[in-house]
Structure 1
């Protein structure tokens, strides 16, 4: 698998003459760990990361521009770079994202999240969401197990009564990607 298959494109970037406050707002708004910094031709000249933003927070003063705090030199990869190599570089250098350039121009970004995404099937994501909803409902006490295959959710375990069974079914159906819900299990024995 290559960078071009997992990268986020088009990339969101900033420029050296962007005020730091604007770049920080973009980091927060988009949930990014870092932004490529590009010149007027779209060539990557640095990165602006959460770390760089935190340095600004403690340095004081307004009117600071991204170019004053950005990290240089910047590591980049090509669209043809193997994802295993990207993973090694990110782990070895503790990078949170790598700009992807073609002929020197920014074409995308690979983040840690992009590297993880191929490891998770859509069913895994659905199962995690259903499990979290049921865990919240149960007060974070493990009461049910969840499995998903092709969007078909199976919830196993004990339930108090038919009303609770309907609640579990309704909660699971709120998760995007759920095709159908099957509840297996029984009411607990009365003592």
Structure 2
């Protein structure tokens, strides 16, 4: 979760909100009032559409923000957040407490980091490195608590040593074993 969230208020000019969105690379910005309550959300698409005319580009975000806003409570589980984001086709989800006070924003990548076991991420990184070396998947990669085992056919002992050295270069690898 990004907290505190990067936000705009309803009076922020569309052009300024576009600059904030572009600067941070987010897909949407929460719109909050002076008390920090979530009152709307404005996406990149909303801002692009509004920016097509000078009058709208200089106008306030309140004219183009969407409401009501789909949000989640701070007590929502990762599974609940995922279900909401998928069912509503959201790229990000504001997190609120006390009804509507914005606490932060959860993105799809935040949830992927939570829901993907570290060993699976490490295995994918090792497989990418091996594919970059060989051009195709040739070996089986297994990871257990940061310990990497690579098995499969090697052209010769030199290739096995190259693969072993390559695996050790992947950040997060605690120990490695390479066997044919």
Q: TM-score, normalised by structure 2?
A: 0.81
The residue that corresponds to 2:146 in the other structure is 151
Instruction: Give the 3 Å change call, closer, same or farther, for CA 172–48 of structure 1 in structure 2.
Output: farther
1:121 to 111, 117, 120: 117
Residue deviations 1:111-137, cap 9 Å, x none?
Answer: 233333332111111111111111122
Residue deviations 1:52-106, cap 9 Å, x none?
Answer: 234246x243535533332222122221234444333323322222211122321
Distance, in Å, in 2 between the alignment partners of 1:107 and 1:42 is 9
Structure 1 residues 1-191: aligned runs within 5 Å: 7-56=1-50, 59-61=52-54, 62-63=57-58, 65-103=60-98, 104-139=100-135, 141-185=136-180
**Counterpart secondary structure, 1:75:** coil
Distance, in Å, in 2 between the alignment partners of 1:131 and 1:87 is 27
**Counterpart secondary structure, 1:81:** coil
Distance, in Å, in 1 between the alignment partners of 2:171 and 2:9 is 37
Residue deviations 1:4-63, cap 9 Å, x none?
Answer: xxx443222233344445544544554432221212221112112232234246x24353
* Conservation of the 8 A alpha-carbon contact between 2:78 and 2:114: no
**Counterpart secondary structure, 1:182:** strand
Distance, in Å, in 2 between the alignment partners of 1:154 and 1:23 is 48
Distance, in Å, in 2 between the alignment partners of 1:17 and 1:51 is 19
> How many aligned positions are there?
177
Q: TM-score, normalised by structure 1?
A: 0.77
